[in-house]
Chain A
Amino acid sequence: MSTKIILSSDGIPLEQSLKKSERKNKIRALLLVAPLFLFILIIYVFPLGDMLFRSVDNRMITEMLPNTFSALEKWDAKELPSEEIYEAFYNDFYPLAKAKKSGKLFQRLNYEKSGFSSGLKKTNKLILDFKKENYKEQFMNTHEIWRSLDYWIAIKNTSPKWTYVKYLKGIDLTLDQQKKIVQVEDEKSIHVTLWLRTLKVAFWVTVSCFLLSYPIAYLLSTIPMKYSNLLMICVLLPFWTSLLVRTSSWMILLQQEGPINNLIVWLGLAADDNRPELMHNMIGTFITMSQILLPFMVLPLYSVMKTIPPSLMRAGKSLGGTPLISFVKIYFPLTIPGIGAGCLLVFILAIGYYITPALVGGASGSLISNMIAYHMKSSLDWAFAAALGTMLLVAVLTIYWIYHKLVGIDNIKLG
């Protein structure tokens, strides 16, 4: 090798010195990102992981009833359990009842099968006076749940430490006595409907946002600056205004005596005493979400259209294309990146919407987020809320990943 090694001014080979400085720069960049990265890791990513964990964690109940579960292992679930199993249950439940620590168990088993709560409460009181023999008979005399095979099967089904049963429940499935996956009864199967409705609303909101924003984004990108700046404020003002303010204005507009209904009556489209319901149903959710999410479609479309030179359309026309053909063949394909970005953004935001459907949606216009909130705040079945949340999270992250691949995260633009 006859190549001479180039040295920097202090005598170190240049290549080495360059590498060193690059490494230094790399470390500096990483150190700048580190505080936010760690912060998000601890307060955001870790809790999301914890939520996932919570949705499959079943150890609370297995720790409360260890003897029962080991006794139930051999039970074939064909007829009522034997005396030993009742005794095992007595051994687990008696200390809990005595220490008044059985409350969580009622709640937990009641999610599994309703009726447990009242049965266990009664048992909780009477178990303190049980004689230390003939457990089966004593239990069976306490409450009807101990005379029923179904309740014992429900207990047995909670035996694994880790369970995916909440996920099954999220799509209206459950485990039967032989641990086979089956459909739940019709009156209880509401979740699939809700998932489909959420997807449907998100889809139609995206479509309507696209149809509404394409013309105005085109207008904004072609008219002179002084007009477009003014009109841009019309897009940005709702964007900056509080979500609750916008929702409350729709609640006023859409109410029975509201301006929109007045207009409909005045135009003669409906009788005064037969005003259409515009709120507390899907129509309300759909209209309100379309307006609220519209700016998220206009902005990416506008920023793409802004870069398309108007001479292209003129060239198309001069080559003999009608305005329609030039639009379809030249302009529209160039705006596809903007359409993709806007549609994915609106769809992602729409699929997880909570506030607006809760206020204007009523029962028939509520979405999956409302179900999560219900289980978090009212039914307190947190594990199920966590499971639904995880399912929604997976859906959103999938679309986010597609967005990342197609558009690139760094292309998100805000105003």
Chain B
Amino acid sequence: MALPKYTPLHYRIWHYSYLTICGLVFLFLVAPLFVILPLSFNAEPFLHFSDKMLALDPEAFSLRWYKEMIFGTKNPWGLAAKNSFIIAIFATIGSTILGTLAAIGLSSRYMPYKAAFMALLISPMIVPLIISGTAIFFFMAKVGLAATHTGIVLSHIILGTPFVVITVTATLSGFDHSVTKAAASLGSNPVNTFMKITLPLIMPGVISGALFAFVTSFDEVVVVLFLAGLENTTIPIQMWVGLREQISPTILAVATCLIILSTLILVTAELLRRRSERLRGIKRN
């Protein structure tokens, strides 16, 4: 952002201070995540930077906490990771199917009371988790699904669908409906049209919705806190327990792994978004 040579001085000062402010805000957004990385390699069981670490002494760094995370005795992370993935995968499948179908219905010109339905279907995203957790807990306890994977998966489907509905509806807003009409006029039945024409075109939206649903479930702690028994513990629950009692560097090792996972998901989602824009012929700028 070079300024032209004729820029007056006061504007120059203003411009650079503006950029500095922006830089600081970006730092505020991202820097906290990067505090975790070096500390997770700390050779000592402390949560602050030792003088040796600041001097970049190789002895101050180790993989100790990663070993502890994987091989440690009595450690809950293995079971937690297994549960987290199982729950998140099933919840993602459920949310994606239900959410995509609903989004297609909602995007139809003929759908009555569109806004009201949309408001209801999105509400789990808006209602505070503590309220959803309380209400779902009473319900699951009543039907005997408390402390089961099924109960947690069902509640995570609820929490994940709004994201799928939003992303798929957004993709469908630029959808050219004449292609499905063309398919129908060529003799294709609705199911075939959907599988061969509509679905491939809205796929980027569906996948990014699915990623949102996955992350929502994988990261969700409040509802699980109410519903989970000892057998259903998940990574967020273990982190919550650890953070409440005493932060050990093992938690930072887990956190680092989670940051890497979220970076991968972010990159995938970003690539998909661009592909979707290309497919729909939307040009930015």
- Interface residues, chain A, with chain B CB atoms under 8 Å away: 22, 25-26, 28-37, 39-40, 43-48, 50-51, 54, 212-213, 215-216, 219, 223, 225, 229, 231, 233-238, 240-253, 255, 257-259, 291, 294-295, 306, 323, 348, 351-355, 358-359, 369, 372-373, 376-377, 382, 385-386, 389, 392-393, 396-397, 400, 404, 408-410, 412-415
A43-B158, A235-B29, A240-B266 known; A248+B134 contact, CB < 8 A: no
Whether B32 contacts A40 by the Cβ 8 Å rule is: no
27 contacts between A and B (CB under 8 A): A25-B108, A26-B111, A35-B102, A36-B99, A40-B123, A40-B158, A44-B124, A47-B138, A50-B142, A212-B28, A216-B22, A229-B270, A233-B266, A236-B266, A237-B33, A238-B33, A242-B239, A248-B243, A252-B48, A253-B32, A291-B32, A294-B25, A294-B28, A358-B244, A359-B240, A376-B226, A412-B122
CB distance B1 to A223 under 8 Å?
yes
Q: Which residues of A contact B170 (CB under 8 A)?
A: 413
Complex Cα–Cα for A350 and B109 (A): 35
Q: Is the CB of B35 within 8 A of A47?
A: no
Inter-chain CA distance A409–B162, complex, in Å, is 11
A43 and B255 contact, Cβ closer than 8 Å, known pairs A236-B266, A252-B35? no
CA distance A81 to B32 in the complex (A): 64
> CB distance B36 to A249 under 8 Å?
yes
Which single residue of chain B is at the shortest CB-CB distance from A42?
B139
Q: Are A33 and B26 in contact (CB under 8 A)?
A: no
Q: Which residues of B contact A241 (CB under 8 A)?
A: 33, 258-259, 262
Name the residue of chain A whose CB is nearest to the CB of B112: A26
How far is B106's CA from A32's CA once the two chains are assembled, in angstroms? 8
Please state if B110 and A22 are interface contacts (CB–CB under 8 Å).
yes
Q: Is the CB of B263 within 8 A of A354?
A: no
Contacts A240-B265, A259-B49; A389 near B129 (Cβ below 8 A): no
Q: Which of A219, A359, A415 contacts B244 (CB 8 A)?
A: A359
Alpha-carbon distance A306/B284, docked complex (angstroms): 9
B129 touches A354 (CB 8 A): yes
Whether B128 sits at the interface, judged by CB under 8 Å, is: yes
In the bound complex, what is the Cα–Cα distance between A241 and B101 (angstroms)? 28
Given A242-B258, A248-B251, A355-B222, CB of A50 within 8 Å of CB of B138? yes
> A369–B128 Cα gap in the complex (Å)?
9
User: Which residues of A sit under 8 angstroms from B129, Cβ to Cβ?
Assistant: 352, 354
Name 16 extra pairs, CB < 8 A, besides A36-B99, A51-B135, A253-B35: A25-B109, A32-B104, A35-B101, A36-B102, A39-B157, A40-B161, A48-B127, A48-B131, A225-B284, A234-B29, A251-B247, A359-B243, A377-B225, A385-B134, A413-B166, A415-B273
Given contacts A40-B161, A46-B139, is CB(A376)–CB(B134) below 8 Å? yes
The yes or no answer to B232 lying at the interface (CB within 8 A) is no
B121 touching A37, Cβ below 8 Å: yes
Give chain A residues whose Cβ lies under 8 Å from the Cβ of B33: 237-238, 241, 245-246, 249
Given contact pairs A244-B239, A359-B244, A415-B269, A40 touches B30 in the complex (Cβ within 8 A):
no
Please provide the chain B residues from 24 to 43 with a CB less than 8 Å away from any CB of chain A in the complex: 25-26, 28-30, 32-33, 35-36, 39
**Do A249 and B35 touch (CB < 8 A)?**
yes
A116 to chain B, nearest CB (A): 25
Cβ distance B153 to chain A, nearest Cβ, rounded Å: 11
In chain B, what residue has the closest Cβ to A306?
A: B284
Question: Pick the contact of B169 from A31, A36, A385, A410 — CB < 8 Å?
Answer: A410
Q: How far is the CA of A265 from the CA of B236 in the complex (A)?
A: 34
Interface mask (B2-21 → A, CB under 8 Å = 1, otherwise 0): 00000000010000001101
Interface contact B131-A392, CB-CB below 8 Å = yes
A253 contacts which chain B residues (CB < 8 A)? 32, 35
Q: Within the assembled complex, what's the spacing in Å between the Cα atoms of A25 and B166?
A: 22
Rounded to whole Å, the gap between the CB of B186 and the closest CB of chain A is: 18
CA distance A147 to B142 in the complex (A): 40
Residues of B within 8 A of A255 (CB): 47-48
B263 touches A30 (CB 8 A): no
Interface residues of B in 154-177 (CB under 8 A from A): 154-155, 157-158, 161, 163, 165-167, 169-170
Per the CB 8 Å criterion, the residue count for chain B at the interface is 95
B98 close to A (CB within 8 Å):
yes
With contacts A240-B269, A248-B239 known, is A43 near B28, CB below 8 A?
no
CB < 8 Å A-B pair total:
273
Judge if B215 is at the interface, Cβ distance under 8 Å.
yes
Of residues 55 to 103 in B, which have CB atoms within 8 Å of A's CB atoms?
A: 98-99, 101-102
> Cβ of A31 and Cβ of B22 under 8 Å apart?
no
**Contact A36 B247, beta carbon cutoff 8 Å:** no
Q: What 3 pairs across the A-B complex have the smallest Cβ distances?
A: A352-B128, A32-B105, A47-B139
Chain B residues closer than 8 Å to A259, beta-carbon distance: 35, 48-49
Contact A258 B29 (CB under 8 A): no
Nearest CB on B from A57, distance (A): 11
When the two chains form the complex, which single residue of A30, A50, A215, A234 contacts B30, counting CB atoms closer than 8 Å?
Answer: A234
B228 at the interface (CB under 8 A from A): no
Please tell me which one of the listed residues B119, B221, B239, B266 contacts residue A409 in the complex, with CB atoms under 8 A apart: B119
CB distance from A191 to the nearest CB of B (A): 15
A40 to B127, CA, bound (A): 13
Given A240-B215, A241-B33 in contact, is the A44-B244 Cβ separation under 8 Å? no
Name which of A244, A294, A348, A412 has the most chain B CB atoms within 10 A of its CB. A244
Please tell me if the beta carbons of A245 and B255 are within 8 angstroms of each other in the complex. Answer: yes
A54 to B32, CA, bound (A): 42
A244 to B117, CA, bound (A): 32
Contact A36 B98 (CB under 8 A): yes
Given known contacts A351-B128, A352-B127, A389 and B269 CB-to-CB distance under 8 angstroms? no
Chain A residue with Cβ nearest B101:
A32
Q: Are A43 and B259 in contact, with the CB atoms below 8 A?
A: no
B155 touches A410 (CB 8 A): no
